Amino acid sequence: MTSPFLRRRDLLRLAAGAGAASLLAACAGPGDSTSATGGGSGGGLTGPREGDLSFAHWRAEDKDVFDRIIKDFRSKNSEITVRQDISPSNDYQSTALQKLRGGSVGDAFTAFRGAQFLEVAKAGVWTDLTGQSVVQRYEPALITAGARDGKQLGLPYQLVFNMPLANTDLLTKAGVSAAPKDWDGFLALLEALKGRGVTPIAWPGGDAANAGQLLNVMVVNNAPTDDALGKIETGAAKVTDDWFLTVLKQYQQLRPYFQQGATGTGSDAALALFAQGRAGLLATGSFQVSGVRKLGATFGIDLLAPITTTADRARYEGVFNATFILGVNAKSAEQPAALAWLEHLSDPAVAGVYANGTAQHVTVKGVEYTNPDLKALAPWLTRRTALAPRFQFANLDVRGAVENAAVQVVGGKSPEEAAEAAQKVIDQKR
């Protein structure tokens, strides 16, 4: 059965965004001329399906759901065991490749879209899945972020929205009945929330992996082109350009609406502030809905992206991302078993267990969504959203410099000073 939330027009729209990502991926690896695969020491995808698998990922909040899926997998594949090797997202971004290269961790693994996917490809750690029947279980338009040089290296599993979560109960009490259509309206919303005695925006400014999520929606309508962040990495644009200074000046305007000590706040603390009903917005993304519920929140949740321009100049209402890219480690000696695990995850019924258990849409065909939060967020599948721009960076040092400029502004530095300092780092690192 085709997903009730992914109609043809949605796929065409998302295909355009994902195609842009594929193009950026093809262009975004300065100096990268190595093969996407190869160099693997594993025995290939054929052979006995048996062994002890390591499944490496960064979603600790999904552990219990994966445990249920593993139990089901074991009932059908008694010769294979699966162990979850979970690292915090920030650590996973920086250390996963080193561990995967050794082959002892991550027989099956995941990767972030963008820089990490490209780094793993450059290292020859992905096993080419082109032609495998498992690929046919996915919506083709939503897995291009896992393709490179004409090969399907990985399978993006999650379809998420990297934009602020909103406590709709608090918004109603603040007199907000609809999302603002422009920047002035967004600031008025924040002021109304502040007037209710709550923190308008909970922001994990001390967690680099999640602090930068807000940049997606701060950039997407201010940028002169959809690939503007990628151009900063290539040198075709600078953070000292007027459009990016506008972004930083808007961060400066948001400063009084973040929680106290925002630049030192970790992800868990920001999540708790929102889940306890003490913040109107959580500036991360839909991937944290399940975490909010696990902390006991019962209020209504929607997505609300700041429109950073006037209404007539806004091109997008928000952003989305296709990520959590599943793959088989080319260095693993258990590749047949790892492929069996990916096939299991890609079964529509199993993918439905994952989606509904973690409150995240997925890219697998024919999944039926029953989770109330997924139903509530379903309208976003048909709205004008852009592919999350922060993942255009192939160089994490450059991305870190750009995102840190926003953190520095919230911390008190002027937009001009923060931009000048960031551009110096970018010029050194790219």
pLDDT by residue (tens digit) across 34-64? 333 444 556 689 889 999 999 999 999 999 9
d(CA 162, CA 140): 21
Output the CA–CA distances (angstroms, integers) from residue 227 to 220, 314, 389, in the order listed.
Answer: 9, 16, 7
Please compute the mean of the pLDDT values over residues 131-160 and round it to a whole number: 95
Tell me phi and psi for residue 78, to 5 degrees.
-65, -15
d(CA 391, CA 169): 32
Instruction: Please determine, for residue 5, whether its predicted confidence score (pLDDT) is greater than 90.
Output: no
At residue 430, the pLDDT reads 84
Helices (H), 77-204: 89-102, 115-122, 168-173, 183-195
323-325-326-327 Cα dihedral, nearest 10 degrees: 180
- The CA radius of gyration of the chain, in Å to the nearest whole number, is 21
18 or 31, higher pLDDT: 18
At residue 27, the pLDDT reads 30
Per mean pLDDT, which range of 17-21, 32-36, 43-47, 207-211 is the poorest? 32-36
Q: Which residue has the tokens 């007199």?
A: 175
Residues 6+ apart with CB under 8 A from 88: 58, 60, 209
At residue 102, the pLDDT reads 85
Instruction: Please determine, for residue 410, whether its predicted confidence score (pLDDT) is greater than 50.
Output: yes
Residues 6+ apart with CB under 8 A from 55: 66, 82, 83, 84, 85, 106, 107, 108, 109, 341
Please compute the mean of the pLDDT values over residues 232-241 and round it to a whole number: 97
Instruction: Please determine, for residue 16, whether its predicted confidence score (pLDDT) is greater than 60.
Output: no
At residue 24, the pLDDT reads 38
Per mean pLDDT, which range of 17-31, 150-164, 254-268, 369-383 is the poorest? 17-31
To the nearest 10 degrees (0 to 180), the angle between helices 242-254 and 396-410 is 50
d(CA 24, CA 82): 34
Per-domain boundaries in the chain: 51-160+321-381, 165-320+387-428
Task: Please say whether the dihedral angle defined by the alpha carbons of residues 282, 287, 290 and 295, taken in this order, is positive or negative.
Answer: negative
Other Cβ atoms less than 10 A from the Cβ of 191: the count is: 13
Residue ranges of E strands in 192-278: 199-202
Q: For the chain, report the end-to-end CA distance as a whole number of angstroms.
A: 46
Specify the fold of 51-160+321-381. D-Maltodextrin-Binding Protein; domain 2 (3.40.190)
As a whole number, the mean pLDDT across the chain is 90
Tokens of 301: 């949740």
Whether the Cβ atoms of residue 282 and residue 290 lie closer than 8 Å to each other: no
Please compute the mean of the pLDDT values over residues 267-283 and round it to a whole number: 98
Confidence of residue 212 (pLDDT cuts 50, 70, 90): very high
d(CA 139, CA 172): 37
At residue 4, the pLDDT reads 33
At residue 43, the pLDDT reads 66
Question: For 165-320+387-428, CATH number?
Answer: 3.40.190.10
Question: What is the pTM for the complete model shown?
Answer: 0.81
Percent of the chain residues past pLDDT 90, beyond the cut:
83
Confidence of residue 90 (pLDDT cuts 50, 70, 90): confident
d(CA 136, CA 185): 44
- DSSP letters of 145-182? GGEETTEE--EEEEEE--S-EEEHHHHHHTT--S--SS
